[in-house]
Amino acid sequence: MSIIRPARFNFENNDGNPGGEGDQGDPPGNQQAPEIQNMDAEQFAAEFARLQQAVTALQQNNNQSWLQLKSADLATIPEFKGETNLLPLFIKICDQLVTTFGVPDNPNHVQNSRLMRGFLAKIKGQAQVQIGNNDYSTWDILKAKLREFYGDRKTDRTLTIELCRMFQNSGEKPIDFYNRITYQLNLTLAYMNNHNRMDHLEFIHELGLQVFLRGLKDPLRQYLKSRDPKTLVEALNLMTNEFQFETSGSISSETFPGNSSNNQKKQNNKPFQKDNNYQKNNFPSISQNYQSNRPNYQNKPNFRKFGQGKSNFNRDQNQG
């Protein structure tokens, strides 16, 4: 059998002369390996097929993203206890992990099982009881079950109407009203995200801010409107930073500058309480040293009342 030798290519040197075999005219890597030069056609075809398979396997190994998955990646999944407004966030993060680290060509791959264990480990509380320990083979099956139990069935119009009707209740703390606003806002945004209707996203955020400013009670409402916050977060920062508003819901006595007189009135209306540290003084009593210098009126002169001497006066005139 005749030996087929691979064709060689001559490259010109920098001076224009063709390079000879093995000289600097051959760029590195183009020199033929001795074992390939001595192969016949059949051996060369077999070696080429082997190298092709090796390259394909190497490319597959480089494309297997499951090798990059770490415990820190699974730690990014938030806990889910059945809150309807938190379900979209839980699903979004799990979708990202499946897209990045999943092996779609092999559903039974160990990395897919590891992802599923990580998802189920983050389901806590009542949600864990309802979901149960069923054998969810894929993330799509688990995601459908979560939406069946905890997905909000209200439409975006219904959620928007409910948002517009919200006001601060009597006795409700401003921070609690803020939390109700954000909860309803998250429900609306979650519905829009699940139904790919994010075209009104900016409008919904603006609506949430306006409902919050309108629904607050005075004087907090007037103060925040005068500062013109652009977002709900900015409004919250005004309450916590400049307004001395605590996240627990309490407001200090210096929260409203005009309330100092009212606070003083409330203090003045309190009943007087004797100080426990009060000590009686040792000064001598004034009544002990004071002697009355009032005159003695026991022998009072006898003054006649007006008109008592009239009869005597007339009698003296007649005698005269």
| pTM for this predicted structure | 0.42
- How does pLDDT run across 266-320, given as a tens digit for each residue? 444 444 444 444 444 444 444 444 454 555 545 555 555 545 555 554 555 555 4
User: Which residue is listed with tokens 């007649």?
Assistant: 318
Give CA–CA dist 213/206, Å, rounded. Answer: 11
- How far is the C-alpha of 259 from the C-alpha of 289, rounded, in Å? 50
CA atoms of 152 and 160, how far apart (whole Å):
13
pLDDT digits (tens, 9 = 90+) for 145-169: 898 888 767 777 888 888 888 998 9
Question: Is residue 221 predicted with pLDDT exceeding 80?
Answer: yes
Q: How far is CA 248 from CA 57, 176, 179, 254, in A?
A: 59, 9, 12, 16
Query: Mean pLDDT of all residues in the chain?
Result: 70
What are the pLDDT digits (tens) for 233-246? 888 888 877 666 54
Question: Has residue 50 got a pLDDT over 90?
Answer: no
pLDDT at 94 over 90: yes
Mean pLDDT of 204-216: 87
Question: Distance from CA of residue 163 to its chain's centroid?
Answer: 19
90-96 CB contacts, 8 Å cutoff, 24+ apart: 90/122, 90/146, 91/143, 91/146, 91/147, 92/193, 94/119, 94/139, 94/143, 95/139, 95/143
- Provide the residue type at 174 as one letter: P
The pLDDT value recorded for residue 307 is 52
Which amino acid is present at 311?
S
Query: 64 or 275, which is more confident?
Result: 64
Query: What contacts 100, CB < 8 A, 6 or more positions away?
Result: 65
Half-sphere exposure of 58 (CA within 13 A, CB side): 6
37 or 7, which is more confident: 37
CA distance 73 to 101: 10
Q: In this predicted structure, what is the pLDDT of residue 312?
A: 52
